[in-house]
Amino acid sequence: MKKIWIGHNRQKWRLDMKVVILAADLHIGGGCKVLIDIAGALTSKGHEVEIVIPQTATVKYNIPCKLTIVPKLDRAYIPYGDIVLTNFYTTFQPAFEAWPEQTVRLSLGFEPLWAPDRQAALWTYCQGVPVITISNWMDQLIYEHSGRRSTVVSLGVDPQVFRPRGPKIAPLPDKSSSKVILYIARDANDYALKGFSDFFGAMEIIKNEYQGDYVVYLICPDGRMSLSQLDIPERIFHPKDEFEMAKLYRTADVFVASSWFEAFSLPPLEAMACGTPVVTTNSGGVMDFCAHMESAYVTAPKDARGLAQGICAILSDPPLANKLARGGSVSAARLTKALFERNMVNALEEIVKKRHTAG
C-alpha cells in the first residue's frame, strides 16, 4: 500500500494491495462464483490478485487474474498477500499458518452447522482475524458461537441479466396453458440440506390437492433429478449461464426454494429480480430480503405441507402472486452485484488501511 500527500496538511491513502484468494476448487456453484466476482472487482480497481488452487482442483470459470496451481494448499505453497482471503474452513488453516497477520476469513456459509469436523470449522472463527460474511443471520451465528462480530457484505444480482422483461423458455405445445413451478434440484445424497425431499413431499401433496394444470421445471446441476415417481408433468433443464437461468425465472409462475439453512441464497433473489413470485423456507440469510406475504411466501424448513400451501396459494390467487412479484422486485432492487462488489472491495481496503494506520 502506498501513501500520497495532497496539499500541505492533508494526506490520503492510495491502496495498491495484493490479494491472494485460496480456493479448494472452482466448480460451478454459488460460493465459487462469488470468489471469481471478488477477484474481478479487485482487479478492476487496480489491485493485484492471485487465485491459488491445488492441482486436484477443477476450473469452470474464466479467471480474471493470475491463477497459480500448487501441489496442495499447504503453508509452504501460500504466497504472500496484503490480504490472504480464505472462504472455507479447510483453506483457513494453511493460510493462517503461513500469514497469520494477513489472513481474512470470508464466510459464505457457517460450516460448524454441517461440516464433518465441526470443532475445526469453529476454530477458524476464533483466531482474531477479520471476518467478512454475507448476511445479518450469519453475523449473528458467528457472534453466538465465537463472541465476535463480522463485517456484513450482502450479495446481489445483476439487474441487466435478472430483470422482468426479456426472453423466456418456450412452453411445450400441450402445456402452453399450464402453470410453471420452477425448482433447483440438488442431489438428495450430497446436498440433503437443500431440501429436495421436502419439495418432493410438497409436490406429492399438490398432485393430490391442487386442481389446476401445472408443469414442474427442474434445474439439475448435479445430473438428472426427477419427480417421475409421482407421475406428474416435468421438464429437465441444465442452464449454461446466468442468461439461461433468467429465462427460466421469467417463465415460471412460482419459484420454490426448500433449503434447511443458507448463508444468503441467491436463487430466490434472482427470481425476485425477474418478477417471479417466490416460495421459500426461512433458511436464515434469505430473511435479509424476504418478508412473509410482502416479498415472498415464507415457510418453515423441513415442512412439505408448508411449501405445498405456499405454492398453491400463489398459483390459485393472482392478486397475491402479483403482490409478491412487486414486493420481490423492490427487495431485489436494493441488492445489486455492483453494490456487493464495491462494498467487498471497500471492506478489504479498510482492513489494510487499519493495519497500516495501527502500525
* Domains of the chain, earliest start first: 2-156+337-358 (3.40.50.2000), 173-333 (3.40.50.2000)
Q: What are phi and psi of 316, to 5 degrees?
A: -105, -5
- Per-residue HEC secondary structure of the chain comes to CEEEEECCCEEEEECCCEEEEECCCECCCHHHHHHHHHHHHHHHCCCEEEEEEECCCCECCCCCCEEEEECCCCHHHCCCCCEEEECCHHHHHHHHHHCCCCEEEEECCCHHHCCCCHHHHHHCCCCCCCEEECCHHHHHHHHHHHCCCCEECCCCECCCCCCCCCCCCCCCHHHCCCEEEEEECCCCCCCHHHCHHHHHHHHHHHHHHCCCCEEEEEECCCCCCCCHHHCCCEEEECCCCHHHHHHHHHHCCEEEECCCCECCCHHHHHHHHCCCCEEEECCEHHHHCCCECCCEEEECCCCHHHHHHHHHHHHHCHHHHHHHHHHHHHHHHCCEHHHHHHHHHHHHHHHHHHHHHHC
Residue 12: the pLDDT is 53
* Cβ pair 32, 95 in contact under 8 A: no
Q: What is the pLDDT of residues 99-115, one digit of tens each?
A: 999 999 999 999 998 88
Residue 358: the pLDDT is 72
Q: What is the pLDDT of residues 29-78, one digit of tens each?
A: 788 999 999 999 999 999 999 999 999 999 989 999 999 999 999 999 99
Q: What is the pLDDT of residues 153-206, one digit of tens each?
A: 999 999 999 999 999 999 877 777 899 999 999 988 888 899 999 999 999 999
| pTM score of the predicted model | 0.91
Q: Is residue 10 predicted with pLDDT exceeding 50?
A: no
Residue 5: the pLDDT is 37
Q: Is residue 325 predicted with pLDDT exceeding 70?
A: yes
Residue 28: the pLDDT is 78
Q: What is the pLDDT of residues 120-147, one digit of tens each?
A: 999 999 999 999 999 999 999 999 999 9
Burial 46-66 (b: 16+ CB within 10 A, else e): ebebbbbbbeebebebeebbe
CA atoms of 356 and 359, how far apart (whole Å): 5
Q: What is the pLDDT of residues 218-270, one digit of tens each?
A: 999 877 888 999 999 999 999 989 999 999 999 999 999 999 999 999 999 99
Among 148, 142, 136, residue whose Cα is nearest residue 112? 142
